[in-house]
Amino acid sequence: MVGRPDEKSSFFNVFEASVRGQGGEMTGAPDSMNDNSKYRRVDLDVDNEDNDDYLDGETDRYRHQMDRRRRRDAARFAYASAVFASLNTILLGYDGGVMSGAILFIQEDLKITEVQVEVFVGFASFVSLIGSLGGGKMADLIGRKWTMGLASVVFQAGNLIMTLARSFEVLMAGRLLAGIGAGIGFVASVVYIAEISPTISRGTLTSFPEIFVNFGILLGYVSNYAFAGLPINLNWRVMLGVGILPSVFLAIALFIIPESPRWLVMQNRIDDARSVLLKTHESEKEVDEQLAEIMWAANAGGTQNHEEKGAWQNILKPSASLWRMLVTGIGIQCFQQITGIDAMVYYSPRIFKDAGIKDTSSLLAATIAVGITKTSFILVAIILIDKLGRKPLLYVGTIGMTICQFITGASLSLHIRGQMGAALTILSVCGNVAFFSIGIGPICWVLTSEIFPLRLRALATALGSIGNRVCNGLITMSFLSMARSITVGGTFFLYAALSALSVAFVYALVPETKGKSLEEIEMLFRGQSNLRRRGVELGEADHDIVLGK
């Protein structure tokens, strides 16, 4: 077994060194050996029992100190890896934020039509589906880490083409690459963080991509404001060009962060996987147990089925347990969007205008309040997700969204005018985005990255992402049409009904995954008991590999 040096003997080495003189002699040397010695004899044989108690106490203190240090180092390493991986998702957020302002100058500079503007803006959401699907396959082929690197290169190639574009056709070519790169990067980042994170903090760390998306949106808004005063043929190019910076930091990070230990096990690189787990877990015992579970999931639980059929065959003809996983994972992704969050964020000025707010500065202030609320309450979710669990936060979020959307619909339908109506609408909209950020917003990505089997995780997560993007497109492209058809208030009554349906979905199909390893969650969907109680039925040879023999 690959083990640490004996901690007790290490302590005695330190203790022995501490009682040596500069010349290397023991300070307790008998006086008869050197009558002129300036050291007094320390008789370790006197009161031997008290001395042993003292040494045992010092040993325990040393051991606890080392354990605390290792726990702190493991937590820091896992958090740093999650932060670096999330840099990819800043690109997705920045693209959305910066385009809201840059498109105004692009239209004026390149003389493109309103229809071309709609095609240009909406195109990225649909081509990101290709990136999401390809990202899942790529993450299995070349690894999670280098797929993130590839995504960054593709995105920045598209960004550079758009920055230098002199025509609409070239602009669209760049948009195509940027959308594909964004789709690849988001899937790879979410899967990587879930697989690198210790069980105890996986919920918090897997929420990071959602936070960084919102941070990217904020950076996009700041970029719009900062560079709007430049000449018309330059300002939007600088806005897009600034998006290269996160990729520079990500490129450096790729040479620092490790590969996912679960992907390494899939490549039979057991020693490398164990080495990574030692950096993110507190003890060797925990590492060996985790590695045993991963190997079971990759081999005993997967080889007999997954080697016989390809990943796509498993997805298209799923077992009963995989079918439950797919319904839960893809379903939660779709509910995140069909409950209308992006319509509320993108069209909040229209909503507030319908509530009676006419002044442009007041509309802008109300819209900024929505953005600040959405970002800040995600931090609340990060604090609570590994303490309260996924399901309680989903209940709070979905029930809260249902109530707030019903209030918004009632306020707009009853045409409550004046300050009271405006205040009620602003509060209900801000309340809706707050409950979204506490619950289904970040947790949908956490669940999607947790529940699928190791050999299908990347592909299944990509499918969930596709469902998310399709529903996003349907909601954002239909809001104005529905508002004209059934009024804005009626549209929010519809969203409230869909939110109520999401509460039932959470109750019936979403399990609690807090405190469970990824392999235990797989067993949960298979209807089997705790993985550790089953003994992770490894053969003797597998145990030898796990223990480094």
Rounded Cα distance between 228 and 239, Å, is 9
Rounded Cα distance between 199 and 531, Å, is 14
Please give the distance of CA 381 from its chain centroid, rounded to a whole number: 12
Render 1-18 in DSSP notation, one character per residue.
---PPPHHHHHHHHHHHH
Query: For residues 531 and 517, is the Cβ–Cβ distance under 8 A?
Result: yes
pLDDT in tens, the chain (549 residues): 434 444 444 433 433 444 344 344 444 444 434 444 444 444 444 455 555 555 556 666 666 666 677 777 777 888 888 888 888 788 777 877 777 667 778 888 888 886 777 677 767 777 877 887 777 778 888 888 899 888 888 988 998 999 998 888 999 999 889 888 888 887 888 888 888 887 777 777 877 887 888 787 777 777 777 787 788 888 889 988 888 777 777 778 888 888 888 888 888 888 888 888 888 877 777 788 778 877 876 664 444 444 445 667 777 788 888 888 899 999 999 999 899 887 777 677 678 878 777 775 676 567 777 777 877 888 888 888 888 888 999 999 999 999 999 999 998 888 776 677 788 888 999 999 899 989 998 888 888 878 887 677 777 877 887 888 788 778 877 777 788 888 888 999 999 999 999 999 999 988 888 877 777 777 878 765 444 444 433 333 333 433 333
Query: For residues 51 and 44, is the Cβ–Cβ distance under 8 A?
Result: yes
Query: For residues 479 and 347, is the Cβ–Cβ distance under 8 A?
Result: yes
Where b means 16+ CB within 10 Å and e means fewer, 34-46 reads eeeeeeeeeeeee
Supply 434's token pair: 């707050």
Q: What is the pTM of this model?
A: 0.64
Task: Classify 20 as helix, strand or coil.
Answer: strand
What CA–CA distances, in Å, run from 63 to 67, 72, 73? 6, 14, 15
Annotate 162-226 with three-state secondary structure: HHHCCCHHHHHHHHHHHHHHHHHHHHHHHHHHHHHCCHHHHHHHHCHHHHHHHHHHHHHHHHHHH
